[in-house]
Amino acid sequence: MSIERNPEAFKNAPINWVPAIVLLSTPLLAIILVPWYLWTHGVNPAIWTAFAIFMAWTGLSITAGYHRLWAHKAYEAHPIVKYFLLLGATLAVQSSAFDWCSGHRTHHRHVDDEYEDPYSARRGFWFSHMDWMLHKYPSGQYDYKNIPDLKKDKLLTLQHKYYGFWVVATNLVVVGIAGLITGDMLGTFLIAGLLRLVLTHHFTFFINSLCHMIGTRPYTDTNTARDNGVLAIFTWGEGYHNYHHYFQYDYRNGVKWWQYDPTKWFIAILSKIGLASDLKRVDNLTIKHAEVTMQFKRAQERIANGGEPSLDERLMAFKEHISTEYDEFTKTVEEWHALKARAIELKRAEFANRLQEADDKLKAQFAEVEAKILAHSERIEKAFLQLKGKTA
Ligand SMILES: [Zn+2]
Ligand SMILES: [Zn+2]
């Protein structure tokens, strides 16, 4: 997609009526009707259970479905899982899979570009959070050329074609069934329907707005995407957005064991019970390499920024440290590249019966390089601490 880089076209973009009405009226209705209902009807545990189930179902359908399965192809799913996720994503009212995924692939390809990224954070919080859907901006007009794989899917094509009908029907029927079970139709529609819809909307929107504004950038600073552990709590693990923008095909967003990424756990459980396969993951060495490269970049920036005269001596020592460390790191990376080339070569040439043996040897060598990269990382951290005067 190529867009005319014309600021006027953005200024004069017409209102996108249907999304504008839905996105502006639902929060307003929720703010008025939910407290009124709670005041007059009290708290019914059955309704809050339905609310929790719908939050999880529709939230995970966006993250594990629209996002990681369809937009990024980070894994393969059994048809049963696909039906479940597509129904949940339709209930979430975040446009058709075609629109969502086409826009999202463009977002990754042209991240931060004011004219091409449909929810560019460079246009500010309001634009990236919601406004991009309220007007017919040039960057929001998709030609679907970037989703040829999805266009082959009959179910997704049907959903796109009859999207409006699907949204209304699924929300009426599925939430209606929940209302029959809880025995309180009005309460179920207000809490498990309306309130859930509004919360799921804004939690997803936070990824495009806040997750491009607040947080850390451990893997790359070439775009605005941030890692934000607090947002991960509300977004089923999607808060680790800096990692995600760097390694978008990984089925995980939070790759460290301590990072909260329930979408990753959900996909991993599906794979354990045979309902998902071909889970794509970036190897630890590549991840660590990206992190250490960023650490060096930060160190260089720190050196370039200079310091107070009282810091001069420590800064000189830091510069010295970083320079030697960088030479060593370059050697380790060369070693790693040579090892990768050798691995490809070996796999091609070795006889089948010796493959295992060669594999074990390579694994040990890769582990050695990984340990070296970890040691580089620790030494840079130590050098930073010394610069701050925190250790002797
Ligand atoms: Zn993003
Ligand atoms: Zn993505």
Mean pLDDT split into 10-residue runs, the chain, 392 residues: 74 92 97 96 93 98 98 98 98 97 97 94 96 94 94 97 96 97 96 98 97 97 96 97 97 97 98 98 94 93 79 85 91 91 80 72 90 92 84 50
> How far is ligand 1, taken at its centre, from the CA of residue 111, in Å?
7
Q: Is residue 2 part of a domain?
A: no
Question: What confidence score (pLDDT) does residue 188 get?
Answer: 97
Question: Could you tell me if 244 and 192 lie in one domain?
Answer: yes
Listed residue (262, 252, 275) closest to 74, CA to CA = 252
Residues 68 and 267: beta-carbon distance below 8 Å: yes
Give the number of the ligand closest to the Cα of residue 107: 1
- What confidence score (pLDDT) does residue 392 get? 46
Q: Are residues 249 and 160 in the same domain?
A: yes
378 C-alpha to ligand 2 centroid (Å): 30
Look at the block and give the residue holding tokens 């990681």.
68
- How many independent structural domains does the chain possess? 2
Do 227 and 364 share a structural domain? no
Beta pairing, strands 276-277 & 76-77? antiparallel
- Give 54 Cα–ligand 1 centroid separation in angstroms: 25
Q: What backbone phi and psi angles, to 5 degrees, belong to 135? A: -120, 160
Regarding whether 260 and 141 lie in a shared domain, the answer is yes
Q: Last residue of some domain: 247, 277, 307?
A: 277
Q: Are 101 and 54 within one domain?
A: yes
Ligand index nearest the alpha carbon of residue 207 = 1
User: Which of 104, 126, 129, 136 has the alpha carbon at shortest distance from 117?
Assistant: 104
Are 246 and 357 within one domain? no
Distance 200 CA to ligand 1 centre (A): 17
- Whether the Cβ atoms of residue 2 and residue 106 lie closer than 8 Å to each other: no
158 and 291 housed in the same domain: no
Q: Which ligand is closest in space to the CA of residue 68?
A: 2
Distance 226 CA to ligand 2 centre (A): 13
Judged by its nearest atom, the ligand closest to the C-alpha of residue 118 is 1
The alpha carbon of 73 and the centre of ligand 1 are apart by a number of angstroms equal to 16
Same domain, 191 and 312: no
**Residue ranges making up the domain that contains 194:** 7-277
Ligand in nearest proximity to the CA of 104: 2
Q: pTM of this prediction?
A: 0.92
328 CA from centroid of ligand 2 (Å): 34
Neighbours of 32 (CB within 10 A): 10
Whether 332 and 377 have beta carbons less than 8 Å apart is answered as no
In a domain, 29, yes or no: yes
Which ligand is closest in space to the CA of residue 67? Answer: 2
Single out the residue in 277, 292, 324 at which a domain terminates: 277
- What local confidence, expressed as pLDDT, does residue 352 receive? 60
What's the confidence (pLDDT) of residue 390? 65
Looking at the fold, whether 168 and 196 belong to one and the same domain comes out as yes
3-state secondary structure the chain: CCCCCCHHHHHCCCECHHHHHHHHHHHHHHHHHHHHHHHHHCCCHHHHHHHHHHHHHHHHHHHHHHHHHHHCCCCEECHHHHHHHHHHHHHCCCCCHHHHHHHHHHHHHCCCCCCCCCCCHHHCHHHHHHHHHHECCHHHCCCCCCCHHHHCCHHHHHHHHCHHHHHHHHHHHHHHHHHHHHCCHHHHHHHHHHHHHHHHHHHHHHHHCHHHCCCECCCCCCCCCCECHHHHHHCCCCCEHHHHHHCCCCCCCCCCCCCCCHHHHHHHHHHHCCCEECCCCCCHHHHHHHHHHHHHHHHHHHHHHCCCHHHHHHHHHHHHHHHHHHHHHHHHHHHHHHHHHHHHHHHHHCCHHHHHHHHHHHHHHHHHHHHHHHHHHHHHHHHHHHHHCCCC
Same domain (yes/no): 69, 170? yes
Residue with tokens 């980070």: 74
Q: Is residue 322 part of a domain?
A: yes
CA of 317 to the centre of ligand 1 (A): 38
Residue 156 lies in a domain: yes
Question: What is the spatial distance between Cα 297 and Cα 73, in angstroms, rounded to a whole number?
Answer: 31
Determine contact, residues 193/182, Cβ cutoff 8 Å: no
Indicate the residue among 277, 300, 322 that finishes a domain: 277
Alpha carbon distances (Å) from 346 to 168, 291, 341: 57, 29, 9
Ligand 2 center to residue 207 CA distance, Å? 10
**How far, in Å, from the CA of 287 to the mean position of ligand 2?**
17
Task: Provide the greatest CA pair distance for the chain.
Answer: 76
Name which of 184, 98, 185, 100 is nearest 148 in CA terms: 98
Q: Are residues 67 and 93 in the same domain?
A: yes
The Å distance, Cα 290 to ligand 1 centre, comes to: 18
Q: How far is the CA of 172 from the centre of ligand 2 (A)?
A: 30
Which contacts of 365-371 are long-range, i.e. CB under 8 A and separated by 24 or more positions?
Answer: 365/339, 366/285, 366/336, 366/339, 369/285, 369/332, 369/335, 369/336, 369/339, 370/284, 370/285, 370/288
1 in any annotated domain: no
Q: How many whole angstroms separate alpha carbon 89 and alpha carbon 72? A: 16
Q: Distance, CA 176 to ligand 1 centroid (Å)?
A: 34
Residues 174 and 309 in one domain: no
